[in-house]
C-alpha cells in the first residue's frame, strides 16, 4: 500500500534577506505550530519582486494523510 500525503503552505512576509532566503525577523509561530501538528517541512521558496527584493517566503509542508481521508 502506498503512502498518501497532504500538502500545505504558509506565507511568511517581510523577511530580513540573507543570501536570498529569509533568515531573520520572521514570525515563525505558524511554522512552529505546523511542526507541532505533525507537518514536515519540504522546502522554502523565496517570494521576490521583479527587482529582486525578497518580500517573503513560502514554506511548503507535507504530512501523511489519514486513512479515513
- Give the pLDDT score at 30: 83
Percent of the chain with pLDDT over 70: 75
Cell triple for 38: 505533525
pTM exceeding the 0.75 threshold for the entire prediction: no
Q: What angle do CA 4, 7, 20 make, to 5 degrees?
A: 135
b/e map 27-58, b = 16+ CB within 10 Å: eeeebeebeeeebeeeeeeeeeeeeeebeebe
Q: What angle do CA 23, 8, 12 make, to 5 degrees?
A: 30
Per-residue pLDDT for 1 more than 80? no
- Give the pLDDT score at 13: 81
**26 in helix, strand or coil?**
coil
Amino acid at each position: 500500500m502506498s503512502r498518501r500525503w497532504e500538502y500545505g503552505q504558509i506565507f511568511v512576509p517581510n523577511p530580513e534577506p540573507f543570501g536570498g532566503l529569509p533568515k531573520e525577523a520572521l514570525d515563525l509561530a505558524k511554522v512552529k505550530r505546523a511542526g507541532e501538528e505533525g507537518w514536515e517541512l519540504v522546502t522554502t521558496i523565496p517570494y521576490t519582486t521583479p527587482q529582486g527584493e525578497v518580500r517573503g517566503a513560502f514554506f511548503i509542508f507535507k504530512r501523511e494523510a489519514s486513512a479515513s481521508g
